[in-house]
């Protein structure tokens, strides 16, 4: 699946997007953030306070308990500040 990062999540991870293939036990968005945080210093920094990070699956807002099975594109970003 494809991951996309925005704003300071993007800056901390150091990339705008990437393809990943997480292990089967990574079932939810929350699991995915925990798994990502273990991938290195920049990910640990980006996801150190996972509670404030928002996620979208295939361009719909989801909560941390949303299942990632079947997702084509998962985005992580800070709370939005548009308008």
Neighbours of 23 (CB within 10 A): 7
Q: Which of 35, 43, 45, 77 lies at the binding interface for another protein (CB under 8 A)? A: 77
Q: Which of 56, 62, 69, 70 lies at the binding interface for another protein (CB under 8 A)? A: 56
Region 8-47 residues binding another protein, contact defined as CB under 8 A: 8, 10
Closest CA relative to residue 53, chosen from 73, 75, 78, 28: 78
Name the residue nearer to another protein (CB basis): 25 or 49. 49
Tell me if residue 4 falls in helix, strand or coil.
Answer: strand
Q: Which of 4, 27, 37, 64 lies at the binding interface for another protein (CB under 8 A)? A: 4
For position 82 contacting another protein by CB under 8 A, the verdict is yes
Q: Please give the distance of CA 67 from its chain centroid, rounded to a whole number.
A: 13
Rounded to whole angstroms, how far apart are CA atoms 43 and 58? 22
- Binding residues for another protein, rule: CB under 8 A, are 4, 6-8, 10, 56, 59-61, 75, 77-83
């Amino acid at each position: 699946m494809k991951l996309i990062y925005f704003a300071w999540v993007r800056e901390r991870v150091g990339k705008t997007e990437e393809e990943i293939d997480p292990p089967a036990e990574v079932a939810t968005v929350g699991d995915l953030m925990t798994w990502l945080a273990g991938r290195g210093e920049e990910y640990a920094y980006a996801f150190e306070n996972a509670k404030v990070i928002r996620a979208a699956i295939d361009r719909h807002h989801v909560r941390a308990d949303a299942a990632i099975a079947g997702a084509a594109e998962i985005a992580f970003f800070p709370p939005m500040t548009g308008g």
